[in-house]
Amino acid sequence: MGKPFILVTNDDGYLSPGLLALRKALSPIGEPWILAPDRNWSAASRTRVFHKPLRFSSARLPDGEEVHVTNGAPSDCVLLALLGLAPRRPDLVVAGINMGANIGHDVTYSGTVAAAMEGASAGIPAIAVSLDLGPEGGAEPSPDYEIAAAITARVARLVLARGTALARTLINVNVPRGVPKGVRVTRLGGKIWSDDLVRGQDPRGRDYYWLTGEMLTSPPPGEEDTDVWAVLSGYVSITPLHLDLTAYPMLNDLRQWEDEIRVDDAG
Ligand code: MN
216 Cα to the center of ligand 1, angstroms: 18
Q: Are 257 and 248 in contact (CB under 8 A)?
A: no
What pLDDT shows up at residue 46? 95
101 Cα to the center of ligand 1, angstroms: 9
Q: Are 185 and 238 in contact (CB under 8 A)?
A: yes
- Which value, to the nearest 10 degrees, does the dihedral of the CA atoms of residues 87, 91, 94, 95 take? 60
13 Cα to the center of ligand 1, angstroms: 8
Give me the residue spans of the domains in the chain: 5-188+219-250
The pTM score is 0.94
11 Cα to the center of ligand 1, angstroms: 5
Tens place of pLDDT for every residue, the chain, 267 residues?
Answer: 689 999 999 999 999 999 999 999 999 999 999 999 999 999 999 999 999 999 999 999 988 999 999 999 999 999 999 999 999 999 999 999 999 999 999 999 999 999 999 999 999 999 999 999 877 666 677 889 999 999 999 999 999 999 888 999 999 999 999 999 999 999 999 999 999 999 999 999 999 999 999 989 899 999 999 999 999 999 999 999 999 999 999 999 999 999 999 887 666
Environment of ion ligand 1 (residues, CB < 5 A):
11-12, 42, 98
What pLDDT shows up at residue 137? 67
| Structural fold of domain 5-188+219-250 | Stationary-phase Survival Protein Sure Homolog; Chain: A, (3.40.1210)
**88 Cβ contact partners less than 8 Å away, ≥ 6 residues apart:** 5
What pLDDT shows up at residue 142? 81
17 Cα to the center of ligand 1, angstroms: 12
102 Cα to the center of ligand 1, angstroms: 9
96 Cα to the center of ligand 1, angstroms: 8
